Amino acid sequence: MNTNQGGQAVVVLLSGGVESTTLLYEVARNSTPIGVFIDYHQRAARRELAAAQTQCRAVSARFQRLDMAAVGRSFCTGQTLRAHVPLPHRNLVIVSLGLSYCAQIHARCLAIALAREDAVGNASGAPRFVRAFRRLAQDLGDITVVAPLITKSKAQIIRHGLDLGVDYAHTYSCLLGHHRHCGQCPQCLKRRAAFAAAGAPEAPGFYRAGD
């Protein structure tokens, strides 16, 4: 996975989860990462933000929160149930903002953390989405969009992150936004399965419903 930008700044879109944290550590090996977290009123925004900030401190990376919470709240208007992820085509919105932020700070590389499984049933997580956005970014200016994890499974990403020294106890994946993972939502189940496939235990007591 090539994230070597010769020491130049690389904007890394962070969610506080496994994949984006691993990408942050990978970028930090050879380049200067700038972590960007986008708050779009997702249910777990506060926990995700805390995890992203913690991991940026761990690699001495700059950190920036972009506040889109009002937009997310607007999308929730009229919903009978609050969606975990209120923005349809979330990746389209997030990558667009990341590209704009790169232009604002004169960074020439935007890194997004997509795993192989993200393409299943999700057009904005597929390689063709990345290729299309890469072409768009090049048309707009001299910014490269990379998704270096996209051919790796979540389990492979975890194993690589462990080699890099990632402390996954300080990542957050749950959709519900509890203090600790619920262990039952789709993201928690995918996380648990990925750690099991990687042959790596999660932090003791990490799953505790209702906390």
Among 5-19, 41-55, 81-95, the least confident range: 81-95
What is the pLDDT at residue 178? 87
Residue 70 lies in a domain: yes
For the record, the structure tokens of 171 come out as 């990542």
Indicate the pLDDT class of residue 84, thresholds 50, 70 and 90. confident
Residue 210 lies in a domain: no
Residue 55 lies in a domain: yes
Residue 208 lies in a domain: no
Tens-place pLDDT, residues 106-156:
999 999 999 999 888 788 889 999 999 999 999 998 999 999 999 999 999
Tens-place pLDDT, residues 194-206:
999 999 988 543 4
Q: Which of 71, 2, 79 is nearest to 39 (CA)?
A: 71
Domain that holds residue 94: 9-173
- Mean pLDDT (whole number) for 69-90: 82
User: What percentage of the chain reaches a pLDDT higher than 90?
Assistant: 74
Number of domains the chain is built from: 1
Buried b (16+ CB within 10 A) or exposed e, 167-182: ebebbbbbbbebebbb
Look up the CATH number of the domain holding residue 169: 3.40.50.620
Among 1-10, 18-27, 76-85, the least confident range: 1-10
